[in-house]
């Protein structure tokens, strides 16, 4: 199941701080098949993520619904520093990190072990002040 950080309508979570966390998604055993992103963050003001790894475990197979490693929507004041992400299995062209309806973000030290250059997608028409630092690809 996707790990979601969100709350009900008309409420905003404040100051979420995730440090040194490794999340792995696996094929679901149950029939509900709700997993799509590894981590989905919605409606937050103040998000800090440091030294995180988001990975896909394909030993038991994959799911058709799998999308992004990290999906951020309606979030302000974002600081991502030290994030390891991988390509969604069997989904070439889908960005590892998707940001929509966000503002005031700095994304730095993103590492991927995939040759894909589709690491980050920012929906520019609905985002403000999104800045990136170092993104490291395989050598």
Which domain covers residue 106, as residue numbers? Answer: 3-136
**Average pLDDT estimate for 20-27:** 92
3-state secondary structure of 34: coil
In the structure, what pLDDT confidence band is assigned to residue 1 with cuts at 50, 70 and 90? low
Spell out the residues 6+ positions from residue 87 whose beta carbon is closer than 8 angstroms to its own.
94, 96, 112, 114, 116
Q: What is the pLDDT of residue 2?
A: 66
Tell me how many domains the chain contains: 1
**What is this structure's pTM?**
0.90
Q: What is the pLDDT of residues 31-84, one digit of tens each?
A: 777 788 999 999 999 999 999 999 999 888 888 888 999 999 999 999 999 999
DSSP assigned state of 59: T
H/E/C letters for each residue in 63-129?
Answer: CCCCCCCEEEEEEEEEEEEEEEECCCCCCCCCCCEEEEEEEEEEEEEEEECCCCCCCEEECHHHCEE
User: Is residue 105 within 8 Å of 129, Cβ to Cβ?
Assistant: yes
The candidate with the shortest Cα–Cα distance to 93, out of 122, 121, 72, 56, is: 121
**Average pLDDT estimate for 2-12:** 77
What are the CA-CA distances from residue 116 to residues 67, 69, 120 (Å)? 15, 14, 11
Q: What is the pLDDT of residue 99?
A: 97
User: Is residue 33 within 8 Å of 63, Cβ to Cβ?
Assistant: yes
Q: What is the pLDDT of residues 94-128, one digit of tens each?
A: 899 999 999 999 999 999 878 777 889 999 999 99
């Amino acid at each position: 199941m996707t790990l979601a950080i969100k709350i009900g309508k008309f409420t905003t979570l404040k100051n979420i701080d995730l440090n040194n966390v490794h999340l792995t998604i696996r094929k679901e055993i149950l029939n509900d098949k709700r997993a799509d992103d590894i981590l989905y963050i919605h409606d937050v003001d103040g998000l800090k993520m440091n030294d995180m790894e988001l990975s896909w475990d394909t030993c038991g197979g994959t799911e058709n619904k799998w999308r992004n490693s990290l999906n951020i929507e309606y979030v302000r004041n974002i600081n991502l520093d030290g994030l390891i992400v991988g390509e969604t299995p069997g989904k070439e062209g889908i960005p590892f990190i998707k940001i929509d309806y966000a503002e005031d973000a700095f994304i730095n030290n993103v590492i991927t072990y995939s040759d894909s250059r589709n690491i980050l997608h920012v929906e520019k028409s609905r985002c403000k002040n999104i800045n990136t630092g170092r993104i490291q690809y395989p050598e």
